[in-house]
A and B are shown apart, each in its own frame.
Chain A
Amino acid sequence: MSYTDHAGRPVIAITGAGVVSSLGAGKDDNWAKLTSGQSGIHRINRFSTEHLRTTIAGTVDFMTPPEAGSAALTYALAESAALEAISESGLSEEDFGGPLFLAAPPVELEWWQRLALDAAGREAGGKQPGYDRLLLAARSGDHLDFYRSIQFGTVGQKLQERLGTRGLPVTLSTACASGATAIQLGVEAIRRGEADRVISVGTDGSVTAEALVRFSLLSALSTQNDVPEKASKPFSKDRDGFVMAEGAGALVMESLESAEARGATILGILEGCGECADDFHRTRSKPDGSPAIAAVRAALDDAGVSTSDIEYVNAHGTSTPENDKMEYLSLSTVFGDRMASIPISSNKSMIGHTLTAAGAIEAVFSLLAIRTGTLPPTINHANPDPAIELDVVPNTARKADVKRVLSNSFGFGGQNTCLVIAAEPA
């Protein structure tokens, strides 16, 4: 096939993919559980949930000890997904040789760290609990680990050192679209000819009590705590919010020409990315859905395909009343009557909303849908929302030969990013 696309740019091959979620580490484990409709959502054990309105999450509890904290988990998740992706690509795991684009959550001191500092500040003679005492503790003690954990560049720097990526890593946040943006930045770098290969990673290990409180105060979280695995129910009438979760996803992408030249296995093609910001509100979308509509259309245009070429949609599908309604409005506007017959499912029904990582994880799942000919279901779909007329692949996975997938990611702050992923042309 041609090494350039419809716009004369390098075709982007996906040659490696990696994933971690509350369901497990690795594509095999995740895909087996996802396609059997298994949920990774559970009651939170990592910290006390007393006084919290939401007490469930899709935390990843098998990577680092709870006392290691969010920064350590966020790194461990990223490293695991990245190594799986690089290993599959056959490139070097110590000397990757291309740039790193990393979607990572914002960092700040965690409560156990603040309390440890306050205690140290008291020892150092600080009278009143508070920031003066924290600053005194910082000045008079050795807290290099704390310092490292709250630099926003640290996770990227550690990954760079571990994987041997080239240049200054780009660490980014576009809220819940971050993972998709990391992929988009990688695609653009290859198209500009700056790199033959890139690794794009989305990671998030930031489920803490304070994070839950923050999202609860915005009324974003499900409070259906009684049966944790049934709380996330995208596109259902009784959906009441998303379920916070952790995980990571990673893609190795290369110019098709360079991938073939080294004899790599081509897993799929990253055909297009589209983006549009929303200026309506900090957490709500413009009522006419125009920014999301523009992002979907931009992705299709960028890929050089039309609505009739899309055979499956991996939804953003957070299970919030607002998102799912708006996503339906946007898609039905772009796809028209055809939307009723395009399968669309949300893996957030099973793994929850992995926030910063979601776009990258969902890109991996979109690729697996193409490669295995199986669409993961939207579970917990017992009570469809009559206002949302979609084929959500309810409750059980479905065999389907799909060649091209649209993956949506939307986020607070007016972020809308969509990806088009396709099978390798025969």
Chain B
Amino acid sequence: MAREVWITGIGLTSSLGEGVDAHWSALAGAEPAKPVVDREFAPPFMIHPMVELDLSKQIPKRADQRQMEVWQRLGVYTAGLALEDAGIKGDEALCASMDMIVAASGGERDVDVDAMILNKVAEGVDDIGVAINEVLTTELRPTLFLAQLSNLLAGNISIVHKVTGSSRTFMGEEGSGISAVQTAAARIRAGQSTHALVGGAYNAEHPDMLLGYELGHYLSRGGWAPVWDREGVEGGGIVSGSGGAFLVLESREHAEKRGAKIYCTLGPVAADQGPVGTQKTRERLERMAAETGLAETGMIVSSAAGSHARTADEKAFLGAIAAGIPVRGITSALGHMRDAQFPMAVAFAALSLSHGEALPPLGSGFETAADAPSSIGVLTVGFNAAEGMAVVSKAEGAGA
């Protein structure tokens, strides 16, 4: 028999702050915050930079901090917030039996070493391969590799927060976050897991990360605009953002037994991928909407990327299938966080339900006013591939 999946903890970090309260008040408070944008980091592009964190609050040992680069620190920090929020942090037994799926890609390269090699080769060398080897062997920090490896975000969460039930890292842009949530939820539903930490983090403040998008001409080069309104803005439509989103998912039985607070239930989660043409994409999204009940919800939280073609397809789909359902594109406010996009959207949907309020519109005319929803659809149409959907609902009979 399928078990109910509850969201019992959320950790968030971004340009808007840290923690669920800071994020909710930034978007839904009396005076909604303006998007925080940095245009100096790598012009002509802009990013949403990370707020300053007191790392020692979640990563007390300096030695642990030193063993990570920015992306891993961000992820470990955000995971700690989620565990704390769920009342699991520091509970040895609950952490040791907790499963974990982290959505991650790669870590940061050493920009100085890379520049050193590029300069050396540009000056002229006899043998390029030999020159590269010479610089790498003498200049790379020995433990940098561990700060780059995809699965070492999860590895560091195990070390710092003692989550050791299982540790899996999914890779692949937005799809990794979609599969992470889907798999963790499916395992709990089937009784393969009782509680799981799932999420991802992204550091936009690294030129190599921007390069990954711009090789496909995906980055926006114009002024800031809401994700739904970037067709006319110069460039490819994506504005990257630093941050992270982690969720604690739990079987209802497990959560009730330990008296956990609850944000909402996580209902069906669907995922797919295929040819990105408009027609095929629409067919997949419609099938997923039927599977999840997306069109029967009271609001849709989307992590639309802003990339022109994909977001246009998403808009058209929403207009056709979910006409009349208010939509919120949270990436407008936070920036695009690649692997963390889907968990971030789920988190904001959960926050909205637990506050009993709709998220206010985020600056676009595409987003209409909404009443307090009792169920919310979550939608991620990846910037170049992968689609994910979920429905979250107010928990019935939960003592929250």
Measuring CB to CB, which residues of chain A are less than 8 angstroms from any residue of chain B? Answer: 47-53, 104, 106-109, 111, 114-115, 118, 122, 128-135, 138-139, 143-144, 146-147, 150-153, 156-157, 160, 167-175, 181, 185, 188, 191-194, 209-210, 213-218, 275-283, 291, 411-415
Contacts and interface: CB of A to CB of B under 8 A. Distances in A.
B145 interface: yes
Interface in B108-156: 109, 111, 114-115, 117-119, 121-122, 127-130, 132-134, 136-137, 140-146, 148-152, 154-156
B199 interface: no
Given A146-B215, A171-B172, A215-B145, 7 more contacts: A132-B207, A135-B42, A147-B216, A209-B136, A214-B144, A216-B137, A276-B166
A122 B122 contact: yes
Given A131-B114, A209-B136, A168 B150 contact: no
A118 B122 contact: yes
Interface centre among A52, A146, A170, A192 (most CB of B within 10 A): A170
A279 B176 CA distance: 23
Contacts of A143: 215
Interface stretch (B183-191, B245-253, B363-371): B183-191
Contact of A414 (B114, B159, B212): B159
Contacts of B189: 192
A174 B118 contact: no
A168 B165 contact: no
B65 interface: no
A156 B386 CA distance: 11
Top 7 nearest A-B pairs (CB, nearest first) are A413-B155, A153-B172, A48-B129, A131-B207, A129-B118, A147-B215, A277-B167
B192 A188 contact: yes
Contacts of A49: 133
30 contacts: A50-B127, A50-B134, A106-B150, A108-B208, A111-B117, A129-B119, A130-B111, A130-B119, A132-B207, A135-B210, A150-B212, A151-B173, A168-B386, A171-B171, A172-B169, A173-B171, A175-B149, A192-B186, A192-B187, A210-B132, A217-B140, A277-B155, A278-B158, A281-B159, A291-B164, A412-B149, A412-B155, A413-B149, A413-B152, A414-B167
Interface of B: 42, 45, 67, 100, 104-106, 109, 111, 114-115, 117-119, 121-122, 127-130, 132-134, 136-137, 140-146, 148-152, 154-156, 158-159, 162-173, 175-176, 178-179, 183, 186-187, 189-190, 192, 207-208, 210-212, 214-217, 221, 271-274, 384-388
A277 B169 contact: no
Contact of B190 (A104, A192, A209): A192
Nearest to A274: B166
Contacts of B170: 170-172
Given A209-B129, A414-B164, A153 B136 contact: no
A153 B119 contact: no
Nearest to A176: B151
B146 A218 contact: yes
Contact of A51 (B122, B133, B166, B215): B133
Contacts of A194: 186
Contacts of A51: 130, 133-134, 137
Nearest to A210: B136
Contact of B211 (A104, A131, A181, A411): A131
Given A108-B106, A169-B273, A278-B158, A115 B145 contact: no
Nearest to A46: B129
B179 to A, nearest CB: 5
Contacts of A215: 145
A35 B192 CA distance: 38
B134 to A, nearest CB: 5
Contact of B163 (A181, A192, A277): A277
A209 B133 contact: yes
Nearest to A129: B118
Contacts of B166: 275-277
Interface centre among B42, B105, B127, B384 (most CB of A within 10 A): B105
A115 B156 CA distance: 33
B136 A213 contact: yes
Contacts of A275: 166-167
Contacts of A171: 170-172, 175-176
B272 A191 contact: no
A213 B134 CA distance: 10
Given A152-B106, A279-B159, A282-B155, A160 B129 contact: no
A287 to B, nearest CB: 15
Given A131-B208, A217-B142, A153 B175 contact: yes
A52 B134 CA distance: 8
Interface centre among B128, B150, B162, B190 (most CB of A within 10 A): B150
Nearest to A144: B216
Nearest to B2: A192
Given A48-B129, A276-B166, A213 B176 contact: no
A413 B212 contact: no
Given A104-B171, A122-B122, A139 B216 contact: no
Contacts of B186: 192, 194
Nearest to A174: B151
Given A192-B190, A283-B146, A413 B154 contact: yes
A153 B145 contact: no
A139 B217 contact: yes
Contacts of B183: 170, 185
A47 to B, nearest CB: 5
A52 B142 CA distance: 14
Contacts of B134: 50-51
A192 B384 CA distance: 30
A152 B149 contact: no
A138 B158 contact: no
Nearest to B95: A279
A411 B136 contact: no
Contacts of A276: 164-166
Given A138-B214, A157-B385, A210-B136, A114 B159 contact: no
Interface centre among A214, A216, A283 (most CB of B within 10 A): A214
A277 B100 contact: yes
A153 to B, nearest CB: 3
A174 B106 contact: no
A249 to B, nearest CB: 18
A280 B136 CA distance: 29
Contacts of B42: 132, 135
A291 B155 CA distance: 13
Contact of A217 (B145, B192, B384): B145
